[in-house]
Structure 1
Amino acid sequence: MNFIAYDPLLGAVKLTDVDAVGPGPLNLVAGTGAGRQSFSFETLRGYDPVLGGGEFVFAKASTAIAAGTVVQFNQSLSGGSIVNSAAAWAGTANTGEPLGVAVAQLALGQWGWFQVGGNAIATVSGAPVAGNPVYWQAAGVVSPAAVAGKQALGAKFATAPGVTLGTGSTAVTLSATQAVITLNRTTSQGAIT
């Protein structure tokens, strides 16, 4: 699928674009900066004709990440600035990690957009059906099978794996390890007291 966003400062943004330089003020004269005015964890809204509207954040890949990987966002301090990095959801129980889904394949250190709201194509295992809750299964992979302390709160399965999205020549058939999950600023389950 092909989400496109529009922002008054950034213009039209193809959310599958990968940025090797990173965020910051535009500074093409000195040869630094990403060539656009974007910042760590900046939020954009986008639209796909089949999946509908979505919400996305800009973050750095702390490891290689495949499109569809469910990620957790970690924060670090670099040069006095907070940097939000994404890594495959590790599934540590009861941590309350903010979660998203990688929109594009990213190498270590590249910057890209991660979906945090709307319908997202995610890497799955098992046999989910629409309406199932979402749980961690393996690094970056989710499943409908309950795992104590590892539920993705604010997420549910919207489809089973392998469905066809769209019609005609633009139809896309998901693989047996891909399904659509609906996200609403999802977090991993926090501690139960």
Structure 2
Amino acid sequence: MGFTSYDPIIGTVKLTDIDTDGPGPLSPKSSRQSFSFEMMRGYDVNLGGGEFVYAQAGATLAAGAVVQFNQSQNASNQMVNSANPWAGTANSGDVLGVAVSAMSASQWGWFQVSGNAIVNVSGAPAVGNPAYWEAAGVVSPTAVAGKQMIGAKFATAAGATLGSGSSAITLSGTQAVMLIDRPNAQTQIT
């Protein structure tokens, strides 16, 4: 399994690739012309289509980690969007995504923001359950006040099998598929 890009401007990019140099053309070693938080479309034969953004890992991330994007400026005063495991601050309104690959701090990679995404879970989600923060980068169907993942719902139970034959993939007991649509953390309710 792995998402394949089909963006006519950036070209074909393996969305599981990790980039240690950062976005192009500002980094002389980078071979791609990607920029911080650039959007790309892609598809997976079992999961369907999705949208992805390019960002820098602000911490070590596991594949499937739910992340929050934190903004800062680098030494050249350019905006950088760093992905960190979702910390679960109540009513924060944080912009969220899902790590496509495992990454170390300061590496650059792609994060899913729409479509069917494989996420790290706790508990026993069922199809249609809403998602809530459980632990850093992990979501659960158990309600937690002020910590709901808005724009997301579970599409499978944990440990589901996707596809059939040689392309079939069985998720671990701590992974499930969620349908996400540019998710964010719950904001203040008045």
TM-score, length-scaled by structure 2: 0.97
Contact 1:26 / 1:36 at 8 angstroms: preserved in 2?
no
Matched position secondary structure for 1:169: helix
Aligned to 1:172: 169
CA distance in 2, matches of 1:168, 1:135: 33
Q: Are 1:60 and 2:56 matched, yes or no?
A: yes
Letter paired with 1:185: R
Matched position secondary structure for 1:14: coil
Contact 2:7 / 2:42 at 8 angstroms: preserved in 1?
no
Letter paired with 1:86: A
Contact 2:5 / 2:41 at 8 angstroms: preserved in 1?
yes
Aligned to 1:149: 146
Deviation (angstroms), 1:10 = 2.1
Matched position secondary structure for 2:166: helix
CA distance in 2, matches of 1:52, 1:135: 24
Q: Please list every run of at least 4 consecutive aligned residues from structure 1 whose deviation after the TM superposition is greater than 6 angstroms.
A: none
Q: Are 1:11 and 2:11 matched, yes or no?
A: yes
Contact 1:71 / 1:86 at 8 angstroms: preserved in 2?
yes
Matches within 5 A, 1:5-154: 5-25=5-25, 32-78=28-74, 79-154=76-151
Letter paired with 2:8: P
CA distance in 1, matches of 2:112, 2:105: 18
Matched position secondary structure for 1:117: strand
Contact 1:133 / 1:155 at 8 angstroms: preserved in 2?
yes
CA distance in 1, matches of 2:2, 2:98: 14
Q: Percent identity?
A: 65
CA distance in 1, matches of 2:103, 2:6: 22
Letter paired with 1:178: Q
Deviation (angstroms), 1:6 = 2.0
CA distance in 2, matches of 1:8, 1:175: 34
**Aligned CA-pair RMSD:** 1.0
Letter paired with 1:57: V
CA distance in 1, matches of 2:43, 2:86: 25
Deviation (angstroms), 1:170 = 1.4
Contact 2:114 / 2:181 at 8 angstroms: preserved in 1?
yes
Deviation (angstroms), 1:26 = 7.0
Letter paired with 2:64: G
Contact 1:22 / 1:110 at 8 angstroms: preserved in 2?
yes
Letter paired with 1:4: T
